[in-house]
């Protein structure tokens, strides 16, 4: 199979000396990064997209083998395998010509395409599905600034009919990311030049305190502990225990670069994995933010620094960690680790 998504899989347990990334598929031509997602009902089922090649592939054995799906699209920025029902998949296209949403209820053969009017509300940056109602979607938009910025561009939009029609919740702010609280509170978070949260479906918004005075580049909620929010900025990595009202710093793992992507272990409390650009790769923390360790063994950074540019890392429900990076194929980390028990959610 020919796609250029870098897929990294590791059991989210203690990473010991000697752990290295190994290829899961034969070496293929570098064709660009894409998106990847795991099925919450069957965590070894993965969906992946090659950015420049387009289309989508599916694996049911953790990435050892892949089949090409009848999915006609260019590059994807995000794939979501929804929690509302098995085989329900949402994908966000982002290839400069196609700002749109694709949805499937069978996870394979049938896809419905919903076109987005990006020229009106700005570039499509991110999408989220309400975990309690799959007909509700939220989209994050960056500002349109080719020659000068369009004042009403950027912001967050909402669809209440599965993606057919969209309504602007607010405009005029560049938004990188949008997501919904998985604990069922209905709280929506938006990260961007000004970061906000809403507790009433987007009718009203509260601005979050900027950590260290900097704009938030990326955020993530703790999947086990309610109200705990993490954020990356150009000034470091931060934690909030009150949904973004106050922050404390957990170091500065990548120096002058922000983390592009954040993954919080759903099984072990306090385990955080960050991915960054500019060749910094992946770092992991296991002690509450005191020490960050590089997880880059097996990646050929000296020859191609872009191979350490990670645009996505996430934990599947079974504790495996996946990632999307630069111009490499599908990979897995061989680790020396111990089995882990799933904790009780607090």
| CATH number, position 135 | 2.130.10.10
Q: Within 13 Å, how many C-alpha atoms sit on residue 115's CB side? A: 5
* Tokens found for residue 55: 């289309």
Residue 19 lies in a domain: no
> How do residues 307-316 score in pLDDT, each as one tens digit?
567 678 888 8
Contact (Cβ atoms closer than 8 angstroms) between residue 329 and residue 27: yes
Highest mean pLDDT among 5-14, 175-184, 196-205: 196-205
Q: What is the domain range of residue 230?
A: 72-307
Highest mean pLDDT among 55-59, 71-75, 106-110, 141-145: 106-110
Residue 14 lies in a domain: no
Print burial letters for 30-51: b (CB count within 10 Å at least 16), e (below 16). Answer: bbebbbbbbbbebbbbbbbbbb
- For residue 124, which of 161, 97, 88 has the smallest C-alpha distance? 97
Lowest-pLDDT choice from 99-103, 238-242, 342-346: 342-346
Contact (Cβ atoms closer than 8 angstroms) between residue 279 and residue 306: yes
pLDDT, mean of residues 15-42: 64
Q: How high is the pLDDT of residue 198?
A: 97
- Grouping H, G, I as helix, E, B as strand and the rest as coil, residue 92 is strand
Q: How high is the pLDDT of residue 290?
A: 83
Residue 103 lies in a domain: yes
Residue 241 lies in a domain: yes
CB atoms under 10 Å from CB of 242, counted, come to 11
Residue 151 vs residue 278, higher pLDDT: 278
Contact (Cβ atoms closer than 8 angstroms) between residue 74 and residue 113: no
| φ, ψ dihedrals at 211, nearest 5° | -60, 120
Q: How high is the pLDDT of residue 23?
A: 60
Residue 321 lies in a domain: no
* Tokens found for residue 279: 């060749």
Q: What band does 244 get if pLDDT is binned at 50, 70 and 90?
A: very high
Q: What band does 82 get if pLDDT is binned at 50, 70 and 90?
A: very high
Residue 102 lies in a domain: yes
Query: d(Cα 339, Cα 224) in Å, to the nearest integer?
Result: 19
Distance set, CA 204 to CA 15, 74, 193 (Å):
43, 35, 18
pLDDT, mean of residues 182-204: 93
pLDDT, mean of residues 180-192: 91
Residue 344 lies in a domain: no
Q: What band does 119 get if pLDDT is binned at 50, 70 and 90?
A: very low
Q: What band does 131 get if pLDDT is binned at 50, 70 and 90?
A: very high
Using the predicted structure, report yes or no on whether residue 306 has a pLDDT greater than 60: no
> How do residues 107-117 score in pLDDT, each as one tens digit?
888 999 988 75
Lowest-pLDDT choice from 58-62, 183-187, 330-334: 330-334
Lowest-pLDDT choice from 226-235, 258-267, 280-289: 280-289
* Tokens found for residue 43: 């965590």
Query: d(Cα 318, Cα 13) in Å, to the nearest integer?
Result: 11
Q: How high is the pLDDT of residue 13?
A: 41
Q: Within 13 Å, how many C-alpha atoms sit on residue 48's CB side? A: 31
Mean pLDDT score across all residues of the chain: 80
- Grouping H, G, I as helix, E, B as strand and the rest as coil, residue 229 is strand
Q: State how many domains the chain has.
A: 1
pTM above 0.95, yes or no: no
Residue 337 lies in a domain: no
Using the predicted structure, report yes or no on whether residue 58 has a pLDDT greater than 60: yes
* Tokens found for residue 39: 């099925």
């Amino acid at each position: 199979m020919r796609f250029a998504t870098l897929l990294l899989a590791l059991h989210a347990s203690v990473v010991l000396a000697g752990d290295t990334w190994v290829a899961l598929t034969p070496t293929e031509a570098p064709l660009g990064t894409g998106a990847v997602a795991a099925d919450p009902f069957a965590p070894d089922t993965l969906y992946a997209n090659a950015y420049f090649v387009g289309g989508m592939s599916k694996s049911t054995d953790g990435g050892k083998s892949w089949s090409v799906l009848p999915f006609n699209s260019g590059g994807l920025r995000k794939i979501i395998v929804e929690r509302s029902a098995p085989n329900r998949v949402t994908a966000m296209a982002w290839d400069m010509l196609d700002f749109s949403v694709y949805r499937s209820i069978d996870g394979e053969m049938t896809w419905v395409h919903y076109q987005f009017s990006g020229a009106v509300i700005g570039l499509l940056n991110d999408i989220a599905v309400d975990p309690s109602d799959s007909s509700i979607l939220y989209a994050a938009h960056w500002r349109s600034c080719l020659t000068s910025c369009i004042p009403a561009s950027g912001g967050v939009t909402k669809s209440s009919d599965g993606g057919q029609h969209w309504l602007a919740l607010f405009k005029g702010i560049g938004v990188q990311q949008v997501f919904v609280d998985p604990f069922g509170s209905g709280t929506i978070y938006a990260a961007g030049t000004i970061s906000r949260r809403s507790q009433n479906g987007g009718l009203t918004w509260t601005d979050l305190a900027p950590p260290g005075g900097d704009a938030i580049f990326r955020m993530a909620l703790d999947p086990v502990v309610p109200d705990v929010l993490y954020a990356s900025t150009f000034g470091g990595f931060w934690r909030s225990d009150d949904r973004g009202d106050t922050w404390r710093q957990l170091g500065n793992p990548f120096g002058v670069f922000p983390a592009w992507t954040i993954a919080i272990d759903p099984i072990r409390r306090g385990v955080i994995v960050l991915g960054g650009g500019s060749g910094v790769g992946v770092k992991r923390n296991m002690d509450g933010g005191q020490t960050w360790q590089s997880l880059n063994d097996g990646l050929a950074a000296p020859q191609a620094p872009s191979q350490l540019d990670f645009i996505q890392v996430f934990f599947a429900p079974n504790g495996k960690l996946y990632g999307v990076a630069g111009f490499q194929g599908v990979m897995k980390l061989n680790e020396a680790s111990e089995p882990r028990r799933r904790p009780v959610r607090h």
